[in-house]
A and B are shown apart, each in its own frame.
Chain A
């Protein structure tokens, strides 16, 4: 009798529901877990030329993969969470690609970032230049490795000096100017800058300013290591750069010198750093006003070698290494992947998902691009399970199961009567 089949299907459906509920309650604290939702749909017995008869209920489980869980803060920099749509691209130990929202990534003993379920984070490597990944494909992605980053040094190539030279200075005779490298050297003012060569070694550059007449100055740059020990002059080699500077008498700003064509107003000045690159020193904001000599700002790029100090991951998924010398270098770009129908992804062990026939093709992109969410570092995505709802559902499922079992009981009682009619 169909009553038995229907009630059995009802009990089965409800026990499915209960098992989903218990799955949800068990995973109420799993990172990146998405609630398993149970949908009931009626079954219909369809024979040709016969009206449809009820055939029970079937329960289908959908994993609500597109729900956003709450973001909680942690203290581990490599813990990631996605805010919005998108999944991390991960690989298991045998090299198969999966998607997951579980961002509990920490470095393992070889430095690869692996989450609590044993999946390795994949990203494109941008160390030493641009990446070789292409859009919308998983080729070129590698495991993110945060160890063994080499000490980095970078040479100085640009510098900016904003200083004020006193307009009340007296001229120095031509025979004693710093460019003549005589002893003792006569100059009006002096400052130093530290430049770095190709290997990250620091070189102190002595910058001398000497007044040669009204509104007219000479600037000389010497390598301080070539100075006479115990004194400044004479240097064992000539100046690295010499430049005439002229200032406008009405504004005090740097103005073109007569007879000097390159550079047009004395700035920028090209200085060959010993053992390094050519340093382009920008003096365009230096002034000549009626106040004492002072340096307002002196910036120069480049740094000495430093050791790896830490990581930082920004909202676009760029993982950068931070060095003890204060510089940082971009190392990896962590992409996000999405499918047109995330709820249809196949769930696998450890909170990961696989692309299935019904989920649609994989689309890979950078975090923050159109349609994808952003990355949060030092954060984890909590499970979307609400215990209160699940408990309520549990009560509902239980009573529904009881009702179905009551119907089964009644059906079975009716059959009993039927069977006992013969006696």
Chain B
């Protein structure tokens, strides 16, 4: 603009807006240099604030899930270890059973084998991680398998004895057991006895686990099952085998009937082992999924952090340079103001 005249007021105040602006910029730069971020993020980002918030949301979510996945990992690892011990226990029982088929007069050995194996099975199945029973399914607050060896006798034991009594007319401890034929025993074991370990009998006398497994979200949008449950066929088969050994192994069975018992138990244990292997594999797969999810989230979080940093951070070098420039600017403005004040005709008139 061309100025043909300049007023004294203008001369006195011309540097003022520049100085005021520089001073306010100075305070902003001080905040930025100490925090490394823009002083007023919302003002700086404007309508991009929504986008920045969504990035931070994602990061938060992933961090929470990563922390929570530790719980799932613990549960699954505990389950895996328990399954492993059950399976190895079953395999050693199988070995013992196979060795016993050729030897007679093993009544007490059989019974001992059955009772110890059953106790071990129940103990392992009732493993808890913290407050949760890992084989309870969603019913994680109750122990999955009721204790078989209790005084008074558990309902499971009573039911088995009752079934025997109903079929043969006398309890398993009766010496009349020697009269049981192999066919009768076989049909008993495959029929009424097996019925005790499935369906309503299993859930009322044996298992208080839920058949529904717990699920958890391990990554945004990814939900997996995080437990197994004691209603898997493996548990039923092993429980059946061990119970029959425990209950009838010490009975006064005939040699051939005992052989039937052993054979049936052995085949059940074999089935149980393979079922347990399958279950163990499932649990292992879930564990692997969790580990993978954690790794993916971790790399995603690094990317998100970089993106947020791009939006929020200020370049420390440029801030320092700007600070220097502004300070110099303010000093120069002060000097010019002082000089302008001195420029007055009154100073040069002879008094």
Q: Do chains A and B touch in the complex (CB under 8 A)?
A: no
